[in-house]
Amino acid sequence: MGTGEQLVTVGGVLLGALTTQVAAYLLERSRNRYQLLTRWDDKKIDAYSEYVDAVKTRIAACVRLYEVREGIREDHRPLAELREDVAEAGRRWGSAFERVMLLGGDDAIEAGHELNSTVSEIVWQATGQITGTLGEWRERHRTAFRQINLFHEAARADLGIQGNVTGEKHPERDLLLPPPRQPPRQPSRRPSGEG
């Protein structure tokens, strides 16, 4: 074999080795990028779900306080303890929203801000900082749950999850409320002497 043929063979081997190295490098880089994205998506899912759970917990604590304050429900615990439940739920909510702020996409963060405004109104009415009727109370809850759905939509879009939680296939649902209370029926009385 001549020198020229040997150089071509050595050049082919070097080119093959270089191509293998570049391909391995690109594959490893792609794998690392995918793992990083997956890791952040997992953290985002946790942050989004913890935030929604904290919002619902905060609303539930407000409902208990509001209903006791308004005489709709009885509770063995004093109002101060119910207010502390609302405050504790608020601390958990604040921490959960901080994670959304750190990890979330722009639309999810903005949807969270809108939801936070409505939940603040619920807290204020529950604690007596603002007044309102039972109808206004319920409308605030309807608005909050519509905004939770909007938050879900933004979070799903940020995570690249297909489908919707609202729209034609998912009609808007209303609050699940018990029927209005009927006044207790008075027993019918028979005139005395009949019987």
State pLDDT tens for residues 14-57.
778 778 787 776 777 776 666 655 567 889 999 999 999 999 99
More confident residue, 108 or 28: 108
Task: Identify the residue with better confidence: 38 or 141.
Answer: 141
- Please give the model's pTM, rounded to 2 decimal places: 0.70
Most confident range, picked from 8-12, 55-59, 162-166, 179-183: 55-59
- Residue 130 domain flag: yes
Give the per-residue pLDDT at 4: 76
CA distance to 34, 47, 65, 83, 141, per residue, from 60 (Å): 39, 20, 9, 12, 11
Counted domains in the chain: 1
Confidence of residue 65 (pLDDT cuts 50, 70, 90): very high
Residue 129 lies in a domain: yes
Q: What is the mean pLDDT of the chain?
A: 85
Q: What does the pLDDT read at residue 60?
A: 97
Is residue 12 one of the residues assigned to a domain?
Answer: no
Residue 35, in any domain of the structure: no
pLDDT for position 153: 95
How confident is the model at residue 80, as a pLDDT?
A: 95
**Domain region containing 98:** 42-159
Residue entry with tokens 């939770």: 148
In a domain, 148, yes or no: yes
Specify the residue for token string 């063995």.
76
d(CA 158, CA 147): 16
H or E stretch at 21: helix 3-69
Q: What is the pLDDT of residue 41?
A: 85
- Gap between the terminal Cα atoms of the chain: 131
pLDDT at 180: 59
DSSP code, position 32: H
Task: Identify the weakest region by mean pLDDT among 5-14, 119-128, 164-173.
Answer: 164-173
Does residue 47 fall inside a structural domain? yes
The answer to the question of residue 183 being in a domain is no
Q: Give the pLDDT mean for 122-147.
A: 95
Domain membership of residue 48 (yes or no) is yes
Between the alpha carbon of residue 166 and those of residues 4, 8, 122, 170, 181, the distances in Å are 70, 64, 23, 5, 32
